[in-house]
Amino acid sequence: MVKPSNEPGAVIDGFTLGECAHRGGMATLWTVTRPDIAVPLLMKVPRVSEGEDPAAIVSFEMEQMVLPRLSGPHVPQCFGTGDFARQPYVVIERIPGKTLYGRLSDLPIPYQEARVLVGKIANALADLHRQNVIHHDIKPSSIMLRPSGEVVLIDFGLSHHNQLPDLLQEEFRLPFGTAPYMAPERLLGVRDDPRSDLFSLGVLLYFFTTGVRPFGETETMQGMRRRLWRDPHPPRKLRADYPPWLQEIVLRCLEIEPAWRQPTASQLAFELGHPDQVKLTARSERLKRDPMSTVLRRRFNRGLTQPKPKADLAAQLASSPIVAVALDTGEGSGALNDAMRVTAGRILSILPSARLACLNVLKLGRVTIDRTLDEQGNNKHIDRLVALRHWAQPLKLDDSRLTVHVLEAVDPAAAILEFAEVNNVDHIVIGARQNSLVRTLLGSVSAKVAGEAACSVTVVRAPRLASRHQAESANDKPLEARA
């Protein structure tokens, strides 16, 4: 078969080649057009001539399998693939703008900017992980921002898809990836733990906020292996004004053991979205690295440096949900709130990595000017936070698993739905009031939330007590109808 020529104007499977946009070590990128596709396109053609690195072939094959299965705003849309049997290529949407690599000269960036940026990346990662894919090459040059501000992850050549063959599993003697960002377990051959991406994102967050890479730029296997036992310098040692909440988040991402990191990308995004509610542990205070005795114990503790049995991405995500409970703290909600605590407790008891967000909506009037103080001069907002904590207290959750939030809104259902959307909530628990006059007049908040939420919703009712009305009507019925 004749090899199709790669030059401007050439046509491959209906795509017309424009200019060469980039010539890299692994692949060449061409702008292409097809009459029926309106969005700007890029064709990625791997370099596969004699003497090229086999890694270029395998990572291209991985992209060829993974890209067509991805969807959503956080990945480039895929418009076609071609096989090695003829002309290998993938055609993807051309994302305007540059990668985060262009920001390296600005480092360190302000803490708040980094918090928002990395929060967006964590959200994009959460979306990717939910699609059964671990990226395995998170670094500034694989991250782009759309003009709308949304993060797009690119370059899936090293990815692992939980439901597809992993072509990189045996291919290379050394782990393949970008050394400064690579998670320690990757050095042991582990490719199925989504928390490897959280480690890489932690490296990026550390780098962007301190201007220093936590594990340097070493490329040697020996240099990389050191991160299996040696922790990085705490950021506060480098920058005295480093916020404790941020150090807590960064050092948790960089934990050597995946199990000690944030359980999911959604939970990392949640922490970054609510810095005032991050539970500060000894990590946040640290000014020095771990003592030599700890390092040596890790160095020679086989448990830490040995590979783990195969993990299941989907199962790991499912075991670490964010559960939101929407509570009414007003008068007369005691029985319902007790029932909601029982339900929340049941969900949390079997999921030790789940986290609970307790919500309360402070309803604002549509026309009145709202006062933040009640008639007695107490701050309504703080009162509600206290009430939420009081409600959650019997669940005896660790502070790292519990947050409380008072949302101010005109429309409570819309506020709960928005909170769930922004924070990647997996499960909403909400109470339904029975026979309330307010509900009859204004419609049911729980019905709207249950109807419109993108996640699972459990609607809880207070234990049923036989009502006088029901009892009477039953007695009124003719005998044969009751039989």
Partner 1 sequence: MSIKSGSSRAVIVRVEESVLLAIFADIHANRQAFSACLDFARAHGAERMICLGDYVGYGADPEWTVETVMGLVDNGVMAVRGNHDNAVGTVSETMNAEAQAAIEWTRGRLSAAQRRFLAELPLTLREDDRLYVHSEASSPAKWRYVQNRSDAALSISATNAHATFCGHIHRPALYSMSAAAKMTSFVPTSGVPVQLLGGRRWLAVLGSVGQPRDGNPAASFAMFDTGSREITYCRVPYDAEAAANRIRENGLPPWLAERLLVGR
C-alpha distances (whole Å) from 185 to each of 193, 229, 294 are: 9, 11, 19
Q: What is the C-alpha to C-alpha distance for residues 137 and 471, in angstroms, rounded to an integer?
A: 65
Answer left, alpha or beta for residue 80, where phi above 0 means left and psi between -120 and 50 means alpha: left
How far apart are CB 423 and partner 1 at their closest, in Å?
Answer: 29
How far apart are CB 170 and partner 1 at their closest, in Å?
Answer: 5
The answer to whether 64 contacts partner 1 (rule: CB under 8 A) is yes
Of the candidate spans 49-57, 95-103, 183-191, 432-440, the one that interacts with partner 1 by CB under 8 A turns out to be 49-57
Which SS3 state, helix, strand or coil, does residue 1 take? coil
Of the candidate spans 48-56, 112-120, 335-343, 377-385, the one that interacts with partner 1 by CB under 8 A turns out to be 48-56
The answer to whether 318 contacts partner 1 (rule: CB under 8 A) is no
Q: Edge-to-edge strand order for the sheet containing 89-93? A: 11-12, 15-23, 27-34, 37-46, 89-93, 78-82
Residues 32-36: contacts with CB under 8 Å, at least 24 apart:
32/91, 34/79
Q: Which helix (H) or strand (E) holds 253?
A: helix 244-253
Residue 61 or 137 with smaller CB distance to partner 1: 61
Cα four-point dihedral sign 291, 294, 300, 305: negative
The answer to whether 57 contacts partner 1 (rule: CB under 8 A) is yes
C-alpha distances (whole Å) from 325 to each of 322, 431, 447 are: 10, 9, 15
The answer to whether 48 contacts partner 1 (rule: CB under 8 A) is yes
The answer to whether 43 contacts partner 1 (rule: CB under 8 A) is no
The answer to whether 50 contacts partner 1 (rule: CB under 8 A) is yes
Residue 57 or 249 with smaller CB distance to partner 1: 57
Written as one letter, the residue type at 35 is P
Residue 52 or 399 with smaller CB distance to partner 1: 52
For residue 422, the Cα-to-chain-centroid distance in whole angstroms is 11
Out of 167, 304, 351, 407, the only residue in the binding site for partner 1 (CB under 8 A) is: 167
How far apart are CB 477 and partner 1 at their closest, in Å?
Answer: 44
The answer to whether 169 contacts partner 1 (rule: CB under 8 A) is yes
Alpha helices in 258-411 (DSSP H): 265-273, 282-285, 292-299, 302-305, 313-318, 334-349, 380-392
Out of 33, 40, 52, 219, the only residue in the binding site for partner 1 (CB under 8 A) is: 52
Site for partner 1 in 191-230 (CB under 8 A): none
Out of 17, 41, 61, 90, the only residue in the binding site for partner 1 (CB under 8 A) is: 61
The answer to whether 54 contacts partner 1 (rule: CB under 8 A) is yes
The answer to whether 128 contacts partner 1 (rule: CB under 8 A) is no
Q: Identify the CA nearest to 169 among candidates 152, 184, 190, 149.
A: 190
Out of 11, 39, 84, 452, the only residue in the binding site for partner 1 (CB under 8 A) is: 84
The answer to whether 165 contacts partner 1 (rule: CB under 8 A) is yes
* Structure-block tokens of residue 375: 């008639």
How far apart are CB 456 and partner 1 at their closest, in Å?
Answer: 22
Of the candidate spans 18-26, 167-175, 253-261, 461-469, the one that interacts with partner 1 by CB under 8 A turns out to be 167-175
Q: Scan for tokens 């947050």, then name that residue.
A: 403
Given a contact cutoff of 8 angstroms between Cβ atoms, the answer to whether 455 and 425 are in contact is yes
Q: Identify the CA nearest to 197 among candidates 177, 213, 224.
A: 177
The answer to whether 3 contacts partner 1 (rule: CB under 8 A) is yes
Number of residues in contact with partner 1 under rule CB under 8 A: 28
Site for partner 1 in 88-117 (CB under 8 A): 88
Query: Contact positions toward partner 1, by CB under 8 A?
Result: 1, 3, 48-52, 54, 57-58, 61, 64-65, 83-88, 162-167, 169-171
